Structure 1
Amino acid sequence: MGCGRGNSDSGNHSSKGCVCEVVRAILEIQNAAVQDDCNKCTTNCFLEPLGGIVNPARSNADTRVFTLLNKDGSPFFATFSGNGSSSPCVSIYFRVEDIFDGCCATLRVLIPEDSNGDPVDLLSNCGSKIDFREVCRVTQFEASDSCITVDLDCFCAVQCIDDVDLGICD
Structure 2
Amino acid sequence: MSCSNCSDVESFGGGHRNCVCEVVREIKRIQDAATNNDCNPCGFTCFSEPLGGLVSPTRNQADTRVFTLLTKDGTPFFSTFLDENGPDCDCVSVFFRVNDFVDDCCVTLSVLRPLNTQKQEVDLLNEYGTGLNLRKLCKVRHFELTGTCITVDLRCFCGINCIADVFLDVCD
TM-score category, normalised to shorter length: 0.7 to 0.9
Q: Which of 144, 157, 170 is equivalent to 1:155? A: 157
CA displacement at 1:58 relative to structure 2: 2.7
Q: What's 2:12 paired with?
A: none
Query: Partners of 1:29 and 1:6 in 2: how far apart?
Result: 24
1:1-170 residue pairs with structure 2 within 5 A?
A: 2-5=3-6, 7=8, 15-33=16-34, 37-39=40-42, 41-42=43-44, 44-87=45-88, 89-170=91-172
Q: Deviations over 1:32-52 (max 9, x none)?
A: 14667421x22x000000011
Cα 1:114–1:33, aligned 2, differ >3 Å: closer, same or farther?
Answer: closer
Runs of 4+ in 1 over 4 A off after TM superposition: none
SS at match of 2:165: strand
Amino acid in structure 2 at the alignment position of 1:165: F
Amino acid in structure 2 at the alignment position of 1:27: K
CA displacement at 1:87 relative to structure 2: 3.1
CA displacement at 1:5 relative to structure 2: 4.7
CA displacement at 1:159 relative to structure 2: 0.2
Cα 1:115–1:37, aligned 2, differ >3 Å: closer, same or farther?
Answer: closer
Query: Partners of 1:58 and 1:3 in 2: how far apart?
Result: 40
CA displacement at 1:3 relative to structure 2: 4.0
Query: Partners of 1:5 and 1:106 in 2: how far apart?
Result: 19
Amino acid in structure 1 at the alignment position of 2:58: A
Amino acid in structure 1 at the alignment position of 2:41: C
Quote the RMSD (CA, aligned, Å). Answer: 2.0
Cα 1:5–1:94, aligned 2, differ >3 Å: closer, same or farther?
Answer: closer
SS at match of 1:23: helix
Q: Deviations over 1:73-102 (max 9, x none)?
A: 111000011132223610000000001321
Q: Deviations over 1:113-161 (max 9, x none)?
A: 0111110000111222211121111010001100000000000100000
Check conservation: 1:109, 1:143, Cα contact below 8 A: yes
SS at match of 1:160: strand
Higher strand share goes to which structure? 1
Cα 1:5–1:57, aligned 2, differ >3 Å: closer, same or farther?
Answer: closer
Q: What's 1:11 paired with?
A: none
CA displacement at 1:167 relative to structure 2: 0.7
Of 28-37 and 66-75, deviating more is 28-37
